[in-house]
Amino acid sequence: MVPGPDGPLSAGLELPVAARALVVLAHGAGAGYRHANMENIALAFAARNLATLRFNFPFMEAGKRRVDSRSVSINAIAAALETAHAVTKLPVFLGGHSFGGRMASHAVFELGLDVCGLIFCSFPLHPQKKPGVDRATHLEAVRLPMLFLSGTRDALAERVLLEEVVASLATSQRKAELHWLDTADHSYKILKRQRVESPDVFAEMAGVAARFVDQCLD
């Protein structure tokens, strides 16, 4: 459990024996920490010796459909980060799927959380059919390495726009990397017959994340 700001939050920890870092992963707006996608990410990361701590946001813990406010969300992330530091001395990265990843970036931006980097799984750059970059404007002030793992069919991240955002973030002082998951959509569903890479999209994500973590820790 994570001692959240308004009560305990259910959580899950994957801690492989040879783990070299831990990633705090926040879930998206539509499903909690035990959703198949979150579990698949955690298991794939564990296979690459990356520990993960997943947790529920308060709205999910309470069985509500409407997501929490930004302030509640970032405080829950901060609580999860404290738990991560309490259970391990490993270097800690922060991120999550969709809404969770976006809130993780706001937690760093607004609360100044001390982590090694950010890992975004399907960063929701804009609402569906409403392309824009307003959701990424705060990232310019975040002085941490960032990895974006996005599907080429993600309706919430128009390819040209996301590429421009990541390119603008990458500087000599800050690492920003974008990896496209071939044929994957926002929820990691792939077109198996058209996909060039291995069909296991989660293994691909974990491999890229492991390399990113190693580069950040060198």
Whether the predicted pLDDT of 193 surpasses 90: no
Look at residue 76 in the predicted model and tell me its pLDDT. Answer: 96
Average pLDDT on 4-12 reads 88
At 125-135, the pLDDT tens digits run 999 999 999 99
Q: Which domain holds residue 84?
A: 2-217
What's the number of domains the chain is made of?
1
Whether the predicted pLDDT of 181 surpasses 90: yes
66 contact partners, CB below 8 Å, separation of at least 6:
59
- Cβ neighbour number for residue 174 with a 10 Å cutoff: 15
At 80-134, the pLDDT tens digits run 999 999 999 999 999 999 999 999 999 999 999 999 999 999 999 999 999 999 9
Q: Which residues pair with 120 in a beta bridge?
A: 96, 148
For residue 63, give the CATH number of its domain: 3.40.50.1820
Rounded to whole angstroms, what are the CA distances from 199 to 93, 182, 208? Answer: 26, 9, 15
Nearest to 158 by CA among 139, 138, 178: 178
Residue with tokens 């530091």: 85
**More reliable by pLDDT, 99 or 3:** 99
